Amino acid sequence: MNGVMAFAPQLALSNDGLAPDAHHILEQIQQNSFWFRSRNRLLQDMVRLYFGQAEALLEIGCGTGYVLSALAEVLPQARIVGSEIYANGLDYAAKRLKGRAELFQMDALAIPYIGEFDLIAACDVLEHIEDDKQVLGEMFRALRPGGGLLLTVPQHPALWSQSDEVAHHKRRYRRDELAEKVRHAGFNIIRDTSFVSALLPALMLQRLTHGQGKDYDASAEFSVPAWLDRLLEVPMEVDRLLIKLGMSLPAGGSRLVLARRSC
């Protein structure tokens, strides 16, 4: 489809995990959003610290390629592979990666590889999938023994709002839920921490007030004045530096889990 291999073409144009126009919107806001920029830097830190020798990376749900291009920067030696359930996201990813990555359309519930990768990343993807346990099992199967897992998800069910509804989320994770599911799939946890911690009070206020309205505009929270965007980036960077120094933050809007497949 559109020049890429499609393993689940019946889901490539419409499914219950994401709005069909989501990648068009994300492409317009990611680079200009403090949240996306800071998350990318955090992911790069974690890959450098724990998976810097990876020779083959798969990102599940690579969307527009925004995260995948950041991970490719810190893994110059690696084979870079990106998958996405929506074929339209891969058009943006192909332009951003400029031939650096192999790209294909895929359902994460049926990964077409066994023992292929040293690192699999799924960044704010699992919350879109009803059967996240099956996806974790598929990731385990697709990793080589000792291979790494890099996951981020939204956290705290009490923060559920119209933002989650619009994004087609199936859940926000309880504090220990993701790590429990990762262990159950056969992985050993390396790091388990919250992030978006310093901004949690502001996030709670926004989600529990404005975020409950039926007229909620999900893209508006990423379309703030440039000066405010830069100001909000500061507490995100504090979180990132604390995590890089080895701290695990107890609460935050998102969760980061790193793990390795048992041999």
Q: What is the pLDDT of residue 59?
A: 98
Q: Indicate if the pLDDT at residue 150 is higher than 90.
A: yes
Mean pLDDT of the chain: 93
Q: What is the pLDDT of residue 220?
A: 66
Q: What is the pLDDT of residue 140?
A: 98
Q: Indicate if the pLDDT at residue 252 is higher than 80.
A: yes
State how far the Cα of 79 lies from the Cα of 100, in Å rounded to an integer.
8
Of 26-40, 136-150, 204-218, 225-239, the poorest mean pLDDT is in 204-218
Closest to 66 (Cα-Cα) out of 38, 24, 124, 27: 27
Question: Please, what sign has the CA dihedral across residues 113, 54, 177, 130?
Answer: negative
Q: Give me the percent of the chain exceeding a pLDDT of 70.
A: 95
Q: What is the Cα 29 distance to its own chain's centre?
A: 16
- Mean pLDDT across the stretch 80-107? 94
- Mean pLDDT across the stretch 114-138? 97
Q: What is the pTM of this model?
A: 0.94
Q: Indicate if the pLDDT at residue 182 is higher than 90.
A: yes
> How many Cβ atoms are within 10 Å of 190's Cβ, its own excluded?
16
Q: Indicate if the pLDDT at residue 210 is higher than 70.
A: no
121 - beta bridge partners?
59, 150
Domains and their CATH numbers in the chain = 5-261 (3.40.50.150)
Q: What is the pLDDT of residue 263?
A: 77
- Mean pLDDT across the stretch 96-109? 96
Q: Indicate if the pLDDT at residue 110 is higher than 70.
A: yes
* Residue length of the chain: 263
CB distance 126 to 116 below 8 Å: no
Tokens of 164: 């989650």
Q: Indicate if the pLDDT at residue 218 is higher than 90.
A: no
Give the pLDDT band (50/70/90) at residue 106. Answer: very high
143 - beta bridge partners?
117
Q: Indicate if the pLDDT at residue 29 is higher than 70.
A: yes
Give the pLDDT band (50/70/90) at residue 219. Answer: low
18 backbone dihedrals φ, ψ, rounded to 5°:
-165, 150
State how far the Cα of 51 lies from the Cα of 124, in Å rounded to an integer.
19
DSSP annotation string for the chain: -TTSEES-GGGSS--TTS-TTHHHHHHHHGGG-HHHHHHHHHHHHHHHHH-TT-SEEEEET-TTSHHHHHHHHH-TTSEEEEEESSHHHHHHHHHHHTTSEEEEE--TTS-S-SS-EEEEEEES-GGG-S-HHHHHHHHHHHEEEEEEEEEEEEB-GGG--HHHHHTT-S--B-TTHHHHHHHHTTEEEEEEEEES-TTHHHHHHHHHTGGGSTT--GGGGG---HHHHHHHHHHHHHHHHHHHTT--BS--SEEEEEEEE--
Q: Indicate if the pLDDT at residue 126 is higher than 80.
A: yes
Q: What is the pLDDT of residue 212?
A: 65
Q: What is the pLDDT of residue 223?
A: 74
Residues contacting 240, CB < 8 A, separation 6+: 38, 41, 42, 45, 195
pLDDT tens digits, residue range 69-92? 999 999 999 999 999 999 888 999
Tokens of 145: 């023994």
